[in-house]
Structure formats: structure tokens, C-alpha cells
Amino acid sequence: MTSPTQPTDQPTDQPTDQPTDLPTLDGLRLVVADMDGTLLDERGDVPVGLWPLVERMRAAGVVFAPASGRQHATLAHMFADLGDDLLVIAENGSYVARGGVEVSSVTLERSLVVDAVGVVRQLAADGNDVGVVVCGKHAAYVERVDEGFLRHVAPYYLSLEQVDDLLAVDDDVLKVAVFDVNGAEPVTAAALAPFRETHQVVVSGPFWVDIMKAGVNKGVALRSLQAELGVTRAQTVVFGDYLNDLEMLDEADASFAMANAHPEVLERARYRAPSNAENGVITTLTRLLDHHGA
């Protein structure tokens, strides 16, 4: 496998693939992993090798938490085997839960939802192949219901409701997610860029752009989780691959970018792990646990 470099004092140092030692932590206490492109394999499945590692971490007093743009219901289903101890960073940091109980959440004002949905509707009217998901606490909502669009949405939103009008939804909205079949950055991200003046707008995957409350990201959510557990950044390991993982990587001294990560993520992380196709989280975690005698 590829091996990381020793970090310097600057978290933006670019990792290389030259062999060297793994990071020495101040006691390994918390492991947080992004899902798509990071922990999940190429089929979008949780690697079977994770489950024995989670049991090994539990026995050593190390907490594992998935962190994703996916909704809480989806993550809770995927990691149901972890039981009541499950810790989740969902909706790109706008919702954090422990054992199914909310730890923190940040919701959007209705005016933003109205404006964002309006922009996406106009993009579609102009001939762009886009769709919008309004992500609430109780469910995710869509008004575009063709099979092609739903096939891309369903893996991320287990609790999904089809509605005639998104603006009639009565729920606390955590996030507005926009899917662009032709890629998020060229058209959709540019169209949503004006919202950056007042809100958090992030390209969360090759085809997705998410809008959240200003200051909301996985990094803020991770700090909340660390405070909840009494864990420091020096005791935290984070794995990520895309732009919505950047702030989260900053909150751990041992931050790993997957080999398949976005260039900005490769520059930001202190260490590098093999790609998700090579089970990079599993192999790196195994080495870390061996290294720390856990």
C-alpha cells in the first residue's frame, strides 16, 4: 500500500507516497470516515473488513463515526449493526446524532429554500438535466420523479418522499442538495455561487452541490462530536476524498486523503491512504491499530 509522509506544522503540506512511519497519536480515541469515494467500495458498499475493525476499536476504547452528505436515516440503516452506540455526522455536518438522539443540528430559513429551488427550476427550464432534493429532519423530498433521477438520489436518502411542490414541504430543512447529470462544477455550482455570500455552498461530489447554513460543514460537526466525547484533535483520525471533507480534515492531526481524492483534498490532508477501490481506510486503520497496540 502507499505510505504517508510525516506531517509538518502546516496541515496543507501535500502528502507523498514515500514510505515512512505512521502518525503517532496522543492516544487513538476517534476515527471518522467519509463514505462515498472514501470508506465505501466502488459498488457503494461498506467493506466487510470494517466490522471486525469496529469491534477491535470498541475493545480498545476507540469510537468510529461515519461522516457523509447522506441523511441520518440512511447512515443509521447502513451501520445498524453498531447498535445504540452509533455516532453519525449526516447531511454534510448539519445533523449530528448519537444513538439515534440528536446532538446538534442547523436548519435553513424558508426564504433560502424558496430561492434555491427557484434557481434549480430555472436551470431545468433552460434545458439542464438537474434535480433538487430538499433535505429535512424527517425525510428528504423531491418533485422530480423520473427513474433516472431517483436512481441517483435513492442511495443517499433512505427516507425519501415524492411531493408535487417542494415549497409546500412542512419540515425543518437541513440542506438543499442539487444533482447535475453532466457534472456539478461547470453549470450548477456557478448558478448557485451567489448563495455563497450568505450560506455554505459546497461541491460535495462530482455531480452534487449542497447548500447549508453559513458556517456549517463536517469540520464544525466534528468539533461538536469531539466535545461530546471529550476527544482532542491529537486523538482523532479522519479520512476523506472530496471538497466537503476539507474542514473535517483540518480538525484531526492525523488527516488522510484517499489516493483517489480531489486535488485540493490531497493538498490539504497530512497523510495519504490507498484509494477506496483498494480498501484504503481498512488497510490504513489496521496499520494504525497495530501501530498503537489496539
Q: Full-prediction pTM beyond 0.75?
A: yes
Q: What is the pLDDT of residue 19?
A: 31
The pLDDT mean for the chain works out to 90
Helix axes 280-291, 50-59, angle to 10 degrees: 30
Query: Could you tell me how far CA 281 lies from the centroid of its own chain?
Result: 14
Residue pLDDT, tens place only, 112-142:
999 999 999 999 999 999 999 999 999 999 9
Residue 294: band (very low, low, confident or very high) from pLDDT cuts 50, 70, 90: confident
Cα distance between residue 62 and residue 191, in whole Å:
42
Digit-coded pLDDT (tens) for 51-101 = 999 999 999 999 999 999 999 999 999 999 888 789 999 999 999 998 888
Comparing 5-9, 73-77, 230-234, the range with the smallest average pLDDT is 5-9
Nearest residue to 57 via CA among 218, 276, 282: 282
Task: Give which of 211, 184, 256, 235 is closest to 39, Cα–Cα.
Answer: 256
Question: pLDDT of 16-51, one tens digit each?
Answer: 443 335 787 878 999 999 999 999 999 999 999 999
Chain CA centroid to CA 71, Å: 10
CA gap 75, 269 in Å, rounded: 24
pLDDT at 6 over 50: no
Residue 99 makes CB contacts below 8 A (sequence gap 6+) with: 84, 85, 86, 87
> Nine-digit cell at 232?
482532542
Q: What is the pLDDT of residue 21?
A: 54
Diameter of the chain measured on Cα atoms:
58
The pLDDT of residue 4 is above 60: no
Grid cell digits, residue 59: 475493545
271 touches 249 (CB < 8 A) = no
Q: Based on C-alpha coordinates, what's the Rg of the chain?
A: 19
172 has a pLDDT exceeding 60: yes
Q: For residue 104, is pLDDT > 60?
A: yes
Q: Identify which of 269, 270, 276 has the alpha carbon closest to the alpha carbon of residue 35.
A: 276
pLDDT cut 90: percent of the chain above it = 82
Distance from C-alpha of 128 to C-alpha of 121, rounded to nearest angstrom: 10
